[in-house]
């Protein structure tokens, strides 16, 4: 296992043939409970909130992809959504503790810290973690967690994970990295020193827009024990059917990510060269302020492209209403292309705050359809 590469790990980690039947595919263990020989004497499973074999396979697969191989310290806890994963991380904190969040982040993450955890005494501040000294300026005596999203949603900013880890660890704060946009195929935050990686598995990991889920992976044994305890104590677990969908989707993560990136990079170049477009954000473009850092920190630039049409808000609204292949919808990371305007869709909860996104911003999740068809679709819709 240790010498296996990413593509091989995705297909084999946690997925040995079923010992009972030889089934090549991990069965969907649709059971809530497990018979015991005597009280407490069982085959490792008691109740499916605590553990379920289909979920165990998914957790082993995901942990291995983030560099936590079977037998190593730490592991993965799979959750019922990305926000459930973020909530579990929030429960690591105590009233009076303080969190620094990157000032561009998924709207729901921001809402969880600002409108839910804040009511339970967890203080928070937003900071531009791409700036030199941005984190240092936001630290407080009780800063216990730094929440990094990179690339950020929706402005695709790139945060230097190793640098943030250096500052955070010097004041004994933990670093959690939301790796949803990059996926472990393009970015390995634990290798860069992060304490935890969080995913909305709903996106690229699942890859087919057919299930909502999340995950946290850590290589710290103590943190893993606490998160595993919280997963059972709070209960936001995925059912076995969803665990199966994620296991299946993740097998093809590498090939999908390569194609997402090829298509996104061609689309970013098309948009950048078109006068109907005022501004384009894609970390693979030399014009992107985080390009060099992304090239160093990631092994690819991902499948998300954000841009502002030259005609402002009206142009943005009419563009997203005119595409045929890019469906107007929230979410991202599926094989089909999606398009949206974050300010009045996915990021409404940041309206009027430091995290505000431009009203005429258009975000595209570039799928794996034929790139020429995607470019024609955008070309036509730009009018
Ligand atoms: O939707 P859920 O699985 O709960 O994941 C939340 C989440 C966390 N982190 C990032 C970076 C995300 O993009 C998301 C969900 N985002 C969308 C639904 C969206 O369209 O941006």
Sign of CA dihedral 162, 163, 168, 172: positive
Q: What is the pLDDT of residue 251?
A: 98
DSSP code string of 253-289: HHHHHHHHHHHHHHHHHHHHT-TTEEEEE-TTSTTST
Q: What is the pLDDT of residue 353?
A: 73
Map tokens 């943030």 to a residue.
Answer: 164
Q: What is the pLDDT of residue 54?
A: 98
Q: Is 108 in the pocket of ligand 1 (CB under 6 A)?
A: yes
DSSP E strands, the chain: 75-79, 98-102, 123-127, 143-149, 174-178, 196-200, 214-218, 277-281, 304-309, 327-328, 338-340, 362-365
Digit-coded pLDDT (tens) for 153-164:
999 999 999 999
63 preceded by a cis bond (ω within 30 of 0): no
Exactly one of 18, 34, 45, 49 is catalytic; name it: 49
Q: What is the pLDDT of residue 176?
A: 98
Instruction: Give catalytic status of residue 106 as yes or no.
Output: yes
**In this structure, what DSSP letter does residue 342 have?**
G
- Range 297-324 average pLDDT: 97
Exactly one of 144, 203, 251, 256 is catalytic; name it: 203
Domain annotation for the chain: domains and CATH numbers? 6-250 (3.40.640.10), 254-382 (3.90.1150.10)
- Measured CA to CA, the distance from residue 181 to residue 361 in angstroms comes to 18
Classify burial at 51, counting beta carbons within 10 Å of its beta carbon; exposed 0-12, middle 13-18, buried 19 or more: middle
221 membership: H or E segment, kind and range? helix 221-234
Q: Is 149 in the pocket of ligand 1 (CB under 6 A)?
A: yes
Q: Which atom of ligand 1 is nearest to the CA of 345?
A: 20
- Range 256-278 average pLDDT: 98
Digit-coded pLDDT (tens) for 313-356:
999 999 999 999 999 999 999 999 999 999 999 988 777 776 67
Q: How far is CA 239 from CA 31, 98, 180, 242, 334, in A?
A: 9, 33, 21, 6, 20
**In this structure, what DSSP letter does residue 117 have?**
G
Q: What is the pLDDT of residue 2?
A: 65
- Measured CA to CA, the distance from residue 36 to residue 150 in angstroms comes to 45
Digit-coded pLDDT (tens) for 71-91:
999 999 999 999 999 999 999
| Cβ-Cβ contacts under 8 Å for 186 (sequence gap 6 or more) | 257, 261, 298, 299, 300, 301, 302
Q: Confidence band (pLDDT; 50, 70, 90) for 3?
A: confident
Q: What is the pLDDT of residue 348?
A: 87
Instruction: Give catalytic status of residue 47 as yes or no.
Output: no
- Measured CA to CA, the distance from residue 73 to residue 296 in angstroms comes to 27
Q: Is 83 in the pocket of ligand 1 (CB under 6 A)?
A: yes
- Residue 51 has phi, psi (to 5 degrees) of -160, 145
Which range, of 251-265, 279-293, 320-334, 344-358, averages the lowest pLDDT?
344-358
Measure 244 CA to ligand 1 centroid, in angstroms.
20
**In this structure, what DSSP letter does residue 33 have?**
B
- Contact of 85 with 110, CB cutoff 8 Å: no
Q: Is 80 in the pocket of ligand 1 (CB under 6 A)?
A: no
Whose CA is closest to atom 3 on ligand 1? 82
Sort residue 367 into left (φ over 0), alpha (ψ -120 to 50) or beta. Answer: beta
Instruction: Give catalytic status of residue 274 as yes or no.
Output: no
Q: What is the pLDDT of residue 350?
A: 77
Whose CA is closest to atom 16 on ligand 1? 331
Please state the length of the chain: 383
Measure 250 CA to ligand 1 centroid, in angstroms.
17
151 preceded by a cis bond (ω within 30 of 0): yes
Structure token digits, residue 349: 């909860």
Pairing of strands 327-328, 338-340: parallel
Digit-coded pLDDT (tens) for 221-236:
999 999 999 999 999 9
Mean predicted lDDT score pLDDT of the chain: 97
Instruction: Give catalytic status of residue 178 as yes or no.
Output: yes
- Range 235-264 average pLDDT: 98
3-state secondary structure of 327: strand
Whose CA is closest to atom 12 on ligand 1? 106
Q: What is the pLDDT of residue 230?
A: 98
Digit-coded pLDDT (tens) for 144-199:
999 999 999 999 999 999 999 999 999 999 999 999 999 999 999 999 999 999 99
**In this structure, what DSSP letter does residue 47 have?**
B
Cβ atoms within 10 Å of 174's Cβ, excluding its own: 22
Alpha carbon distance, N-terminus to C-terminus of the chain: 52
Share of the chain above pLDDT 90, in %: 95
Measure 314 CA to ligand 1 centroid, in angstroms.
26
Can you give the C-alpha Rg of the chain in angstroms? Answer: 21
Digit-coded pLDDT (tens) for 104-132:
889 899 999 999 999 999 999 999 999 99
Exactly one of 97, 178, 360, 377 is catalytic; name it: 178
Cβ atoms within 10 Å of 56's Cβ, excluding its own: 19
- Range 241-256 average pLDDT: 98
**Does pLDDT of 1 surpass 60?**
no
Q: Which atom of ligand 1 is nearest to the CA of 154?
A: 21
């Amino acid at each position: 296992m240790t010498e296996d590469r990413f593509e091989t790990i995705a297909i084999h980690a946690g997925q040995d043939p079923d010992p009972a039947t030889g089934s090549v595919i991990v069965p969907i263990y649709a059971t809530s409970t497990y018979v015991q020989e005597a009280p407490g004497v069982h085959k490792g499973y008691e109740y499916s909130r605590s553990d379920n074999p289909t979920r165990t396979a998914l957790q082993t697969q995901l942990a291995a992809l983030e560099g936590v191989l079977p037998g190593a310290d730490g592991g993965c806890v799979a959750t019922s959504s990305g926000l459930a994963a973020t909530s579990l991380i929030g429960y690591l904190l105590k009233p009076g503790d303080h969190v620094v969040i990157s000032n561009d982040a998924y709207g729901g993450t921001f809402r969880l810290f600002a409108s839910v955890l804040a009511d339970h005494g967890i203080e928070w501040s937003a900071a531009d973690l791409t700036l030199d000294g941005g984190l240092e300026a936001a630290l407080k005596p009780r800063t216990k967690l730094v929440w990094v999203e990179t690339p950020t949603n929706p402005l695709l900013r790139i945060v230097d994970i190793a640098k943030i880890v250096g500052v955070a660890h010097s004041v004994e704060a933990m670093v959690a990295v939301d790796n949803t946009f990059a996926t472990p195929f393009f970015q390995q935050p634990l290798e860069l020193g992060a304490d935890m990686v969080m995913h909305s598995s709903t996106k690229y990991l699942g890859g087919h827009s057919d299930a909502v889920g999340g995950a946290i992976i850590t290589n710290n044994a103590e943190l893993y024990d606490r998160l595993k305890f919280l997963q059972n104590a709070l209960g936001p677990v995925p059912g076995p059917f969803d665990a199966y969908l994620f296991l299946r989707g993740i097998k093809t993560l590498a090939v999908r990510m390569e194609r997402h990136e090829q298509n996104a990079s061609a689309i970013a170049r098309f948009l950048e060269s078109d006068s109907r477009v005022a501004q384009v954000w894609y970390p693979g473009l030399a014009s992107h302020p985080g390009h060099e850092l992304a090239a160093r920190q990631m092994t690819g630039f991902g499948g998300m492209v954000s841009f502002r049409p030259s005609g402002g808000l009206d142009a943005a609204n009419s563009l997203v209403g005119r595409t045929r292949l890019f469906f107007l919808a929230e979410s991202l990371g599926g094989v089909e292309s999606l398009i949206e305007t974050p300010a009045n869709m996915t990021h409404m909860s940041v309206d009027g705050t430091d995290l505000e996104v431009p009203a005429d911003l258009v975000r595209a999740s570039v799928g794996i359809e034929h790139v020429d068809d995607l470019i024609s679709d955008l070309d036509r819709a730009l009018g």
